[in-house]
């Protein structure tokens, strides 16, 4: 019997759930003042609600008994006091609950965003941005709503119900016991809905994420969609995703709405039971006064609303709990790359980078690098060349410690990067990616973001060094011109030159150029190469390039294939050998010559 009662209580009171316990603990610890004031106001609301039912006895008696107008005035004054107090308490409850809720949303969004910034690149390879964005918005709001539902239900509604039942019991104990018979029936009915709600809400979150994903792809891939006439395909996918969300939302509505008819039916049985019991002769021995009967009936009718809200509350909690769990899954996700407990800053040095017997793969069953040994000498330019998939980008990722090697070690200034702090590693590195990313701000801000303490003149100098100042001055607002989302208002070459300016401004000891001039025309490439040459004299420069003309002035070239170094040496030495590098150069020369011939004939 005791076990059954625990199960029944657990169906209505899910406070043992670890997510709810954690959310309440965190929320109350941070916003205990706001919630404390709101709870005091809720207690006042509950008391005044019960007093409203109790006061009906005085109202009826004042109107039916001839005790003089003074008694009527006193009762009227009491009613004004009760309702005014309830109104003020309701206002205070609402304001402070909303303040606390808004603070929870802000804190959780900041906490979630902070975790997103801490995560390594590998995390975003396996987690779609649409799902993360969905949690950043919908899950955080669900967490706030979950706290509010629990606090309001277990303080205001539960206390109001207890107070009204107390008034009923005070006026007529026997009739009150009749209404309590139907409570366990309501709890059993609610238990049946919970498992169905969990399944539907899990699927609904996935469908919401699909809508965000499709919207992102439609904006980011607008040109591809237009050129390949994919509007119909995208439209069909979106309609299906929207339909899935609509259908699951309708299921949730139906499940939540079931509690209404359930409580209505039980209320009907309760009132009918009271009528039947009240007609029994044994009950008529002590008839109720008109005021007592009115007070009892009012308390019974008023108790219906908080009882109905409490029955709906359990289903509402479950819908929000499914979404909130996903929020904490993201917050609690382990960091794939993080500082070791005893991590230290990189020691002072000249920026030499070494790979010692390094193996690496994005998946354990598919290695990319196989026991490679490389040295990127300080103050010199080293180039990585070779066919696609050879491991060039993986080497850059390991230098920037976006990933850790599965075997061996990557060292800067003779220190294993796993023993160094992430901040000190990144201070040593500037990076220009082949997929240029720009923030949706101005030209000036996109350059300066790499070194916020730089002066305006240093920003302008970096732009000149990257051969970007000419086109910047031609923009309608110069350096203050917004570049649009990811540089949408600029050409590929202009974006690339801004990225180079950003890297040069950082003035770090290690400069990584991943196809940094791939989007430039021949004239711009020549100017940028000349500017880079004058800015990298004392830096460790690591260049990845498919256009081999850009690496002919390198001090060292490593040729990679299938994750292994198959050739290494100075450009002049490699050209004199009949090896892989010479074959790559001849292949590009023949390809370029063929294109020129076709252009001339045309």
pLDDT tens for residues 380-400?
Answer: 999 999 888 888 989 999 999
- List, in sequence order, the alpha helices (H) in 181-334: 183-220, 222-227, 231-278, 281-284, 290-331
Domains 346-428+508-570 and 438-507 share a fold: yes
Lookup: tokens for 384: 């990585």
The mean per-residue pLDDT over the stretch 172-188 comes to 65
The mean per-residue pLDDT over the stretch 518-527 comes to 69
Identify the pLDDT of residue 138: 78
More confident residue, 178 or 26: 26
Domain boundaries, the chain: 16-218+244-331, 346-428+508-570, 438-507
325: Cβ–Cβ under 8 A, 6 or more apart, which residues? Answer: 19
Q: Does residue 273 register a pLDDT over 70?
A: no
CB 19 within 8 A of CB 324: yes
The mean per-residue pLDDT over the stretch 499-525 comes to 81
Which element (helix H / strand E) includes 559? strand 556-561
Identify the pLDDT of residue 44: 93
Identify the pLDDT of residue 595: 52
Q: What value, to the nearest 5°, has the Cα angle with vertex 420 and ends 362 and 427?
A: 90
d(CA 479, CA 457): 12
d(CA 280, CA 277): 6
pLDDT band at residue 415 using 50, 70 and 90 as cut-offs: very high
Identify the pLDDT of residue 241: 82
The 10 Å Cβ neighbour count of residue 561 is 14
d(CA 343, CA 345): 7
d(CA 503, CA 449): 10
The mean per-residue pLDDT over the stretch 148-171 comes to 85
Q: Does residue 1 register a pLDDT over 50?
A: no
Q: Does residue 596 register a pLDDT over 60?
A: no
pLDDT band at residue 414 using 50, 70 and 90 as cut-offs: very high
Least confident of 27-36, 141-150, 262-271: 262-271
Indicate the DSSP class of residue 519.
T
**Could you tell me which CATH class the domain 346-428+508-570 is placed in?**
alpha beta
The 10 Å Cβ neighbour count of residue 548 is 17
The mean per-residue pLDDT over the stretch 200-223 comes to 71
The mean per-residue pLDDT over the stretch 234-251 comes to 80
Lookup: tokens for 240: 């299906």
- What topology is assigned to 438-507 in CATH? Rossmann fold (3.40.50)
Which tens digit of pLDDT belongs to each residue from 319-359? 788 788 888 888 888 887 888 889 999 998 888 999 999 99
Least confident of 248-262, 362-376, 533-547: 248-262
d(CA 538, CA 113): 37
d(CA 430, CA 508): 6
Identify the pLDDT of residue 356: 94
Into which CATH architecture does domain 16-218+244-331 fall? Up-down Bundle (1.20)
Environment class of residue 101 by beta-carbon count within 10 Å: exposed (0-12), middle (13-18) or buried (19+)? buried
d(CA 34, CA 579): 74
**Residue entry with tokens 């000498």:** 377
């Amino acid at each position: 019997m005791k076990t059954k009662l625990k199960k029944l209580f657990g169906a209505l009171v899910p406070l043992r759930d670890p997510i709810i316990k954690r959310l309440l603990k965190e929320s109350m610890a941070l916003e205990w003042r706001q919630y404390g004031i709101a709870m005091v106001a809720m207690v006042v609301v509950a008391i005044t609600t019960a007093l409203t039912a109790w006061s009906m006895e005085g109202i009826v008696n004042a109107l039916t008994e001839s005790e003089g107008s003074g008694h009527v005035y006193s009762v009227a004054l009491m009613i004004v006091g009760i309702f005014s107090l309830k109104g003020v308490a309701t206002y205070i409850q609402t304001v402070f609950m909303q303040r606390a809720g808004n603070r929870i949303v802000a804190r959780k969004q900041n906490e979630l965003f902070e975790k997103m910034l801490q995560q390594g690149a590998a995390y975003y390879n396996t987690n779609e941005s649409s799902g993360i964005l969905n949690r950043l918005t919908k899950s955080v709001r669900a967490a706030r709503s979950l706290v509010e539902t629990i606090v309001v239900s277990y303080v205001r509604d539960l206390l109001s119900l207890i107070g009204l039942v107390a008034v009923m019991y005070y006026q007529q104990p026997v009739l009150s016991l009749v209404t309590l018979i139907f409570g366990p029936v309501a709890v059993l009915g609610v238990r049946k809905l919970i498992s169905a709600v969990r399944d539907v809400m899990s699927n609904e979150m996935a469908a919401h994420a699909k809508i965000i994903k499709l919207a992102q792809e439609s904006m980011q891939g607008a040109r591809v969609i237009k050129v390949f006439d994919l509007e119909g395909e995208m439209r069909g996918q979106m309609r299906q995703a929207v339909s899935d969300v609509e259908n699951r939302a309708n299921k949730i509505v139906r499940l939540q709405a079931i509690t209404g008819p359930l409580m209505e039916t039980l209320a009907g049985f309760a009132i009918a039971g009271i009528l039947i019991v009240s007609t029994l002769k044994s009950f008529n021995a002590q008839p109720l006064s008109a005021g007592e009967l009115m007070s009892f009936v009012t308390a019974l009718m008023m108790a219906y609303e908080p009882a109905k809200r409490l029955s709906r509350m359990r289903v509402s909690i479950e819908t929000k709990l499914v979404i909130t769990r996903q929020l904490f899954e993201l917050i609690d996700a382990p960091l794939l790359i993080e500082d070791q407990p005893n991590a230290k800053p990189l020691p002072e040095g000249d920026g030499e980078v070494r790979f010692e017997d390094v193996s690496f793969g994005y998946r354990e069953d598919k290695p990319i690098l196989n026991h490679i040994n490389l040295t990127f000498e300080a103050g010199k330019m080293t180039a990585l060349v070779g066919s696609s998939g050879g491991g060039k980008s993986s080497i850059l990722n390991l230098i920037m410690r976006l990933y850790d090697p599965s075997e061996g070690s990557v060292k800067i200034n003779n220190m294993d990067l796993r023993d160094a702090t992430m901040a000190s590693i990144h201070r040593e590195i500037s990076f220009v990616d082949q997929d240029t990313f720009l923030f949706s701000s101005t030209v000036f801000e996109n350059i300066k973001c790499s070194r916020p303490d730089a002066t305006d003149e240093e920003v302008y100098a970096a732009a000149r060094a990257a051969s970007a100042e000419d086109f910047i001055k031609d923009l309608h607002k110069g350096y203050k011109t917004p570049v649009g989302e990811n540089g949408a208002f600029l050409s590929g070459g202009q974006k690339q030159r801004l990225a180079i300016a950003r890297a040069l401004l950082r003035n770090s000891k290690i400069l990584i150029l991943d196809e940094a001039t791939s989007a430039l025309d021949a004239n711009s490439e020549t100017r940028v190469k000349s500017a880079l040459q004058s800015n990298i004299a004392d830096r460790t420069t690591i260049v990845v390039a498919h256009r081999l003309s850009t690496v002919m002035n390198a001090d060292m070239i490593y040729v990679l294939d299938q994750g292994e170094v198959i050739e290494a040496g100075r450009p002049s030495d490699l050209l004199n050998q009949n090896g892989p590098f010479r074959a790559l150069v001849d292949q590009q020369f023949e390809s370029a010559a063929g294109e020129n011939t076709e252009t001339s004939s045309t």
